[in-house]
Amino acid sequence: MISTPAAGRTPRPACRWKIALVFALLAQSALADTVCVGKVAGQDVVTNGLLAFAYLRIGHELSLQKRGPNLYAECPSDNSRNWECEEPTGWWELSEQGERLVGTWRKTRTGSARPIVLQATTRSYNDVLLSANRTVIGKPMRTGTVGWALKKELRSGVALPVLLTGPDPAGLARINAALAKQFEAAAVDALTMEDYEPDEKVLYADERMVAIGGTTGFDGGGAHPSEFFSAATWDLRTGDAIDWEALMRPAADGAVDLSRSGSFLAAVLRELQRAAKDDDGSCLSGATETMQCNERVCADVPRVEGRTGWQMYPTPQGLAVAPDVYSEAARGCRGETVVVPWRDVRGGLKEPSALLPR
């Protein structure tokens, strides 16, 4: 409840502006939190309330900063580092007319006015943003029966693989449906973040499976940019995603004995130890230090419910594993892999699998 001054009493100056601000917020337009579509200065626009918006032709998100009654400055995205917005790219003056926002746009505060007409919509902000996607398909590539190409969204610059041919049409369709969702999510991230640059490619393909992955750098306007590595493998005949870690016998909690046979996790850590000897002072040796490994045991291997969550994908020689135990300071090491030979992968399986190369 908002208290008002007693009759005959004048509120102190320090209180007057606070009371005015509260009433101004309560009086804020009902459309301030609504997705709207329409035109601003002749350009198709989608707004996410009165906080963020995008010119659909360009796609990259901008923000609106309130500078006075019904007056908004057109600024870089709230996810950028230009929070002060000392040089707005435009000025909006708005008023509400039912389920519409109307007003004028000016390049400068005293520039010529151009019309704004925005209409509330039931569509989501991301749905409208994606509806203006402009995509091209790159040069086809092939390994055996598997063909693919890079699909690129021109506004965001996002490019991810799409499968063109495979041994089973139904499996191919399921995989491409999953890739389409990933593509749309990446396009939205690239259009609404300061920077988002996925570098995904086909990592492996044979007549049974295909793996796609890579490192994605991103900058959401926080303390510093970051990056992550991801890899996904699909069964080409069924279209199902392959969870490599789920196929393996779970390792017991606690320290991992590197001499243990039949343990996939022990096999991964043995390969890591071997690689770290030739990688002194770099990424893989840093991973062994973090997990407190020596020739016999790794004492501190992070797991949640028995799973490491490490990214894995097939190679001709074996299963590549990225032991991601790196801090933000060492984020450039994410995606560094060791390869577990297929014979050791088979030894760690819960049951035989026809997916593994013969």
Could you tell me if 36 and 54 are in contact, meaning their C-beta atoms sit under 8 angstroms apart?
A: no
Q: What pTM was computed for the model?
A: 0.84
Q: Which residues does 67 contact at the CB level (< 8 Å), separation at least 6? A: 73, 91
CA distance 117 to 246: 53
* pLDDT at res. 76: 83
* pLDDT at res. 8: 43
* pLDDT at res. 357: 81
pLDDT, greater one: 294 or 329: 294
pLDDT, greater one: 310 or 226: 310
* pLDDT at res. 65: 92
Lowest mean pLDDT among 2-6, 110-114, 159-163, 297-301: 2-6
pLDDT-derived band at 96, boundaries 50, 70, 90 = very high
* pLDDT at res. 111: 95
Helix (H) or strand (E) run with residue 162 in it: strand 159-165
Q: Is the pLDDT of residue 174 over 60?
A: yes
CB atoms inside a 10 Å sphere around CB 140: 11
DSSP per residue, 46-81: EEETTTEEEETTT---EEEEEEETTEEEEEE-TTSS
Take residue 44 and report the two structure tokens written for it.
């198709």
* pLDDT at res. 216: 86
Tens digits of per-residue pLDDT, 308-329? 999 999 999 999 999 989 888 8
107-124 average pLDDT score: 96
Please name the residue ranges forming H helices in 226-263.
244-247
188-212 average pLDDT score: 91
Percent of the chain with pLDDT over 90: 70
Task: Tell me the CB-side half-sphere exposure of residue 83, using CA atoms within 13 A.
Answer: 5
Q: Is the pLDDT of residue 13 over 50?
A: no
pLDDT, greater one: 31 or 269: 269
CA distance 53 to 45: 7
Question: What three-state secondary structure class fits 118?
Answer: strand
C-alpha triplet 143, 342, 254: angle, nearest 5°: 130
Q: Is the pLDDT of residue 4 over 70?
A: no
Can you give the residue ranges of every domain in the chain?
Answer: 26-123, 133-235, 251-348
pLDDT-derived band at 197, boundaries 50, 70, 90 = confident
CA distance 183 to 166: 20
C-alpha triplet 68, 74, 80: angle, nearest 5°: 115
Ramachandran category for residue 273: left, alpha or beta (phi over 0 → left; psi -120 to 50 → alpha): alpha
Lowest mean pLDDT among 37-41, 105-109, 217-221, 347-351: 217-221
To the question of domain 133-235 being in CATH 3.30.200, the answer is no
Q: Is the pLDDT of residue 296 over 60?
A: yes
87-102 average pLDDT score: 93
Q: Is the pLDDT of residue 23 over 70?
A: no
pLDDT, greater one: 257 or 12: 257
Q: Is the pLDDT of residue 54 over 90?
A: yes
* pLDDT at res. 29: 57
Lowest mean pLDDT among 153-157, 181-185, 251-255, 287-291: 251-255
Return contacts of 88-93, CB within 8 angstroms, 24+ apart: 89/62, 90/41, 91/67, 92/40, 92/64, 92/116
Take residue 296 and report the two structure tokens written for it.
């016999």
pLDDT-derived band at 2, boundaries 50, 70, 90 = very low
pLDDT, greater one: 347 or 30: 347
* pLDDT at res. 226: 81
Could you tell me if 249 and 261 are in contact, meaning their C-beta atoms sit under 8 angstroms apart?
A: no
* pLDDT at res. 305: 86
* pLDDT at res. 223: 59
Question: What three-state secondary structure class fits 248?
Answer: strand
Q: Is the pLDDT of residue 153 over 90?
A: yes
